[in-house]
Amino acid sequence: MIWRCNDCGSLVHPSDDRTPAAWCSRCERVTQAAVAEFARVLRPNGVVMAATSGPHHLRELWQVRAEVFGGPPKSENPEVFGSVTGVAILGQSFGSVEWREYADTLRCTSPDDVIAFLTSAPPGEAASPDQLRNLRRAVENRFDAGEGTFVVSKETGVFLGRIPLR
C-alpha cells in the first residue's frame, strides 16, 4: 500500500502493476476528472473508498455560526462531494457505487471547545470582540438548553466504488 496526499486530479502511479494505493484530497478537489483518475489506477477488482459527509453534518454548529456571523447554516463541502452528490460523481467512473452511512452524534461537554472550533476558521477566526461575546452567549444557550451538553448531528460515511470503467 502506498499513501500519498496530493491533488487527486493527477495521480502518479508508481508502477504498471496498479499497486494498491490511497490518496487524500480536500472535498473541493474531488471532480469528475479526479474520480476518473481513481478508476484509471485501480486494479480491476479493486475498491475506491471515499469518506465524506452529508448536508446535515454538524448542522447545529453551522446554525450557531450563521446566527452570530451570518451566512448559510451549513457546510459547503457536502454540496461539492457529499452523501447526496457522490453517487452521481462516482457512478460515471465505477460500475457499482455503494454509500455506507456511519450513524453517530457528537456530545459536546465544553462550551470552550465548541467556541474554539467555531473560531478556528473563517468567519470565526476574524471575530470582533462583540461577535465573540455573541458567540459565547449563543453557545452557552445551547448548553443550558441541553442541561450541560450540546448534542450535534453527524452525517458521515463512505462510498465504495467498484468495477472501474475505463
How do residues 112-137 score in pLDDT, each as one tens digit?
A: 999 999 999 999 999 999 999 999 99
**91: phi then psi, degrees, rounded to nearest 5:** -65, -20
Q: Is the pLDDT of residue 8 over 80?
A: no
Q: What is the pLDDT of residue 2?
A: 43
Greater model confidence, 34 or 138: 138
Q: What is the pLDDT of residue 29?
A: 58
Q: What is the pLDDT of residue 125?
A: 96
Q: How many CA atoms lie within 13 A of 117 on its CB side?
A: 13
* Gyration radius from the chain CA atoms: 19
Q: What is the pLDDT of residue 3?
A: 41
Q: How many CB atoms lie within 10 A of CB 89?
A: 21
Using a pLDDT cut of 70, give the percent of the chain over it.
81
d(CA 157, CA 151): 19
Q: Are 21 and 4 in contact (CB under 8 A)?
A: yes
pTM: 0.78
Q: What is the pLDDT of residues 65-109, one digit of tens each?
A: 999 999 888 887 767 788 999 999 999 999 999 999 998 999 999
Q: Are 47 and 100 in contact (CB under 8 A)?
A: no
Element holding 1 (H helix, E strand): none
Using a pLDDT cut of 90, give the percent of the chain over it.
59
